A and B are shown apart, each in its own frame.
Chain A
Amino acid sequence: MFLLTPFEIEAIKLSLKVSTLALLGCLPLGLLVAWILARYDFYGKSLFSCIIHLPLVLPPVVIGYLLLVLFGKQGVIGNWLWENFEITFAFNWKGAAVAAGIMALPLMVRSIRLSLEQVNVGLEQAARTLGASPKWVFMTVTLPLILPGILTGTILAFARSLGEFGATITFVSNIPGETQTLPLALYSLTQAPDGDTGATRLVVISILIALAALITSETLSRRISNRLK
């Protein structure tokens, strides 16, 4: 039987907690950014798009370091947050979620933006002539039509969050029970002299979680696209 050790359970729980928080932030933000990029033209749009997509192309360590500089207790934003709200992201799991969220955001944005650009604006106009306010149009026409894109984006972002390593370890370090997510725990084990068995077990667990996420998304998106056909 494949029984989980307390160490593994802790890493899995922490990973899921971090990824879920990252997704909760990513989803509304990603939707908003995708909407802006798909529907508006403004001065500096390319630059805005570049900044959003930077985490895709930059080494994660760079992002982690920037986060440390900005959000650390001495950082410009971190200091302000701490003084005013007593919130800090330094060396805790919320910081890990911020790092994972920022790394995952461009994937979410890309996927939602693509599906938004495929939505026929004519359908939204038709809904308005039928009496729907812009808010209703979004809820009853746009949102159902971009659901496959949102789903794909969510799965990609979730996977990216689960696998996040470089930015996390740079920003919030590798603290067991606080910031030591699955990949970080795996990394620690590979560095320990007798960690081979533990590492193999974490590899299997990682594969299982990833498979479960992929299968769920496949099933859901097939169901949704059947509905749209």
Chain B
Amino acid sequence: MPKNPLINIDIQRKKGNFNFSAQIQTNGGLTAFFGRSGSGKTSLINMIAGLDTPDEGMIIIDDQVLFDSKHKINIAPEQRKIGYIFQDGRLFPHLNVRSNLLYARRFLSVPLKHEKFVAIVDLLGLEQMLDRRPTTLSGGEQQRVAIGRALLADPRLLLMDEPLASLDSARKAEVLPFIENLRDQLKTPILYVSHAIDEVIRLADTMVLLDKGNTIAQGEVEDLMSRLDLRPFTGRYEAGAILSVNITAHDSKYGLTELSFTGHKLLIPHINFPIGSHLRMRILARDVSLSKLKPTKTSILNVFDAVITEISHDSVSQCEVILDIGTPLIARITYKSVIDLDLKVGSKVFAQVKAAAIDRRTLGLGSTRISSII
């Protein structure tokens, strides 16, 4: 059934000589707001939460108008029912973990059920720390409590402002699976602010690109990350295509795992996920090479038929080539090769992906929404 987008934002704001303007429509699941620092990500979610006020425009969440400058509507933050997980946790230092978690209880319209409390404590693994003070917890534990506290306020939307940014990589790895669980097990939509592309690729279904206070593009993560015109905004990160894959087999003899996507198979070194898992991965452009003839007797295990859809000559010696193998793939090759092989848009080529070339950091369990598309 056709429905208005869950989140519908169109706001402008001028602060000093920083002009902020955002138009965003997105539905459930996890939407990442991605941009460099200073791109206005935090201002944007502060305005959604009601902690900051736009000059003009409207914010509609779940068909409720939270802000509308034309009709002078500006709902107070405490009435918006929007959970906010801050970068710095912001647990109440004078309350223990249990009281922090239960802080919102007295403001709920429907009394909190004990089962719900237990379920959320369980989901976030908090049972061991209920009687402790926030200051005795590690950064990762604090963020998990902050997530639980926001969820127990029964929000219709969760905002996360770089919840992992202040954590070291070990703590990040500790918290990430909890956020994946939230995304997959709760119906609450999440807006996730980040300047780390790895997190975005691992967690998000859709992404909104922000730059200097403007929304540059929005759409599926896979699509946006393979658009060459967005490279300046996706950052100085290495170009790479995002693939959504299923694990189809493990080969114990050679220590390989077979993945399938859009009718293709891909072999990578063994990874420890069960058969049937959905994964999202990134294949770096520099690990993809091209050949006009079908490679035989090659050490490279993964060869795909491909059609060139775009060639970008972005530096003197290097080119980025977008290929269609049923899904976009990016190859980074020399300009000389483009000329020597006479590569043009529409040319048919063979793309070779080294098995060892999988960018493991971005391996993440894809959300169920994405995997159902596959």
Q: Are B133 and A229 in contact (CB under 8 A)?
A: yes
0 or 1 for each of B73-116: is its CB under 8 Å from A? (1 = yes): 00011111111101010101110000000011001100000000
Q: Are B92 and A141 in contact (CB under 8 A)?
A: yes
The number of A-B residue pairs with CB atoms under 8 Å apart is: 67
User: What is the chain B residue whose CB lies nearest that of A129?
Assistant: B84
B374 close to A (CB within 8 Å): no
Name the contact of B104 in the complex, choosing from A120, A122, A123, A130 (C-beta under 8 A): A130
For B104, list chain A residues within 8 Å (CB): 130-132
Chain B residues with a Cβ under 8 A of chain A: 49-51, 76-84, 86, 88, 90, 92-94, 103-104, 107-108, 133, 135, 149-150, 153
Name the contact of A228 in the complex, choosing from B86, B93, B107 (C-beta under 8 A): B93
Q: Are B51 and A130 in contact (CB under 8 A)?
A: no
Q: In the complex, A28→B86 CA distance in Å?
A: 33
Q: Are A129 and B135 in contact (CB under 8 A)?
A: no
Determine how close the nearest CB of chain B comes to the CB of A150; give it in whole angstroms.
14
Q: In the complex, A43→B90 CA distance in Å?
A: 32
Name the contact of A122 in the complex, choosing from B86, B108, B133, B149 (C-beta under 8 A): B86
Q: Are B94 and A133 in contact (CB under 8 A)?
A: no
Determine how close the nearest CB of chain B comes to the CB of A229; give it in whole angstroms.
6
A-B contact pairs, 25 of them (CB 8 A): A120-B90, A122-B86, A122-B90, A123-B92, A125-B51, A126-B84, A126-B86, A128-B50, A128-B77, A128-B78, A129-B50, A129-B82, A129-B84, A129-B150, A130-B83, A130-B104, A130-B153, A131-B78, A131-B108, A132-B103, A133-B76, A144-B94, A145-B94, A228-B93, A229-B133
- Nearest first, the 7 A-B pairs at minimum CB distance are A131-B107, A129-B84, A126-B90, A130-B104, A128-B77, A144-B94, A130-B153
Q: Are A129 and B94 in contact (CB under 8 A)?
A: no
User: What is the chain A residue whose CB lies nearest that of B51?
Assistant: A125
For A145, list chain B residues within 8 Å (CB): 93-94
Q: Count chain B CB atoms within 10 A of each CB in A125, A126, A140 and give the residue with the most.
A: A126
A127 close to B (CB within 8 Å): yes
Q: In the complex, A140→B94 CA distance in Å?
A: 10
For A131, list chain B residues within 8 Å (CB): 78-79, 81, 104, 107-108, 153
Name the contact of B149 in the complex, choosing from A130, A133, A144 (C-beta under 8 A): A130
Name the contact of A130 in the complex, choosing from B88, B93, B107 (C-beta under 8 A): B107
For A229, list chain B residues within 8 Å (CB): 93, 133, 135
Q: In the complex, A123→B100 CA distance in Å?
A: 11
For A127, list chain B residues within 8 Å (CB): 92, 103
Chain A residues with a Cβ under 8 A of chain B: 120, 122-123, 125-133, 136, 140-141, 144-145, 227-229
Name the contact of B49 in the complex, choosing from A129, A132, A141, A228 (C-beta under 8 A): A129
Q: Are A132 and B107 in contact (CB under 8 A)?
A: yes
Q: Are A227 and B78 in contact (CB under 8 A)?
A: no
Q: In the complex, A145→B76 CA distance in Å?
A: 24
Given A144-B94, A229-B135: A129 touches B78 (CB 8 Å cut-off): yes
Q: Are A129 and B92 in contact (CB under 8 A)?
A: no
Given A123-B90, A123-B92: A129 touches B51 (CB 8 Å cut-off): yes
User: What is the chain B residue whose CB lies nearest that of A124?
Assistant: B90
Determine how close the nearest CB of chain A comes to the CB of B72; give it in whole angstroms.
20
Q: In the complex, A125→B87 CA distance in Å?
A: 13
Q: In the complex, A130→B93 CA distance in Å?
A: 16
Name the contact of B51 in the complex, choosing from A123, A128, A144 (C-beta under 8 A): A128
User: What is the chain B residue whose CB lies nearest that of A224?
Assistant: B94
Q: In the complex, A109→B90 CA distance in Å?
A: 27
User: What is the chain B residue whose CB lies nearest that of A123?
Assistant: B90
Q: In the complex, A115→B104 CA distance in Å?
A: 25
Determine how close the nearest CB of chain A comes to the CB of B241; give it in whole angstroms.
37
Name the contact of A133 in the complex, choosing from B78, B80, B84 (C-beta under 8 A): B78
Q: In the complex, A125→B108 CA distance in Å?
A: 18
Name the contact of A129 in the complex, choosing from B77, B88, B108, B133 (C-beta under 8 A): B77
For B51, list chain A residues within 8 Å (CB): 125, 128-129
For A125, list chain B residues within 8 Å (CB): 51, 77, 84, 90
Q: Count chain B CB atoms within 10 A of each CB in A128, A131, A136, A140 and give the residue with the most.
A: A131
Q: Count chain A CB atoms within 10 A of each CB in B51, B82, B88, B93 and give the residue with the most.
A: B93
Determine how close the nearest CB of chain A comes to the CB of B152; give it in whole angstroms.
9
Given A129-B80, A229-B93, 5 more pairs with CB closer than 8 A: A129-B78, A130-B150, A132-B104, A227-B94, A228-B94
For B80, list chain A residues within 8 Å (CB): 129
Q: In the complex, A136→B84 CA distance in Å?
A: 18
